[in-house]
A and B are shown apart, each in its own frame.
Chain A
């Protein structure tokens, strides 16, 4: 159980393109979803936290107009990288958790590798 599906797994596109990444919880209701960014050989950096039906909370230094997050249902959150540029190239990973109290792990998608030419 507790499967998170992330799509697409790999995107290559031209500079200026907007790219949408989907994160779905397949067998549980994800009241909260998290979006992370990971550079090669580095750790995960939290970009934003999204709760179903409300606006996402962005971490300091993350441009909310650049990285649009929508969490319209309990099983789907999307991250749209608008007008992507080469510096946006990275590995983006989502995770999800249900509404259980503290002490439950997050469940991660397999990540999306974004390459902007």
Chain B
């Protein structure tokens, strides 16, 4: 399978805490993207990091990319109950298709 791996598979934290999710991929990439999916809904794009970037910020989100290790992490700071969702990384290669990771189910407890 070309699908990437994400860990943890599930993460439960208290509101206000930080949440960190990790992603590994298998092929060379042009960029790596993170998406969020609420239960039974489509995906919402969160942030994109290019292969020549190492870190990117957007609001409470911080993404890192290590192309030598073929890995990325997503940090959500000061989490809120509304952040409860599944989070997926997606690797974009030369074919411009996305290969999704297995996902992390985040639960933020109020």
Contacts and interface: CB of A to CB of B under 8 A. Distances in A.
A102 B30 contact: yes
B98 A43 contact: no
Contacts of A1: none
Contacts of B99: 46
A44 B43 contact: yes
Interface string B83-106: 000001000100011111111010
Contact of A93 (B30, B31, B43): B43
A65 to B, nearest CB: 22
A44 B92 CA distance: 14
B88 A44 contact: yes
Interface stretch (A13-21, A77-85, A109-117): A109-117
B78 interface: no
B: contact size bracket? 20 to 34
B97 A108 contact: no
B48 interface: yes
Nearest to A4: B42
B48 A103 contact: yes
Contacts of B60: none
Contacts of B40: 91, 111, 113
Contacts of B50: 103
Interface string B57-77: 000000000000000000000
Instruction: State the main secondary structure of chain A at its contact with B.
Output: strand
B31 A103 contact: yes
A43 B101 contact: yes
B96 A105 contact: no
B43 A49 contact: no
Nearest to A107: B45
Contact of A43 (B3, B31, B42, B48): B3
Given A43-B88, A43-B103, A103 B41 contact: no
Nearest to B101: A43
7 contacts: A32-B96, A42-B103, A43-B100, A43-B101, A102-B30, A111-B40, A111-B41
Interface of B: 3, 30-31, 33, 35, 40-45, 48, 50, 88, 92, 96-103, 105
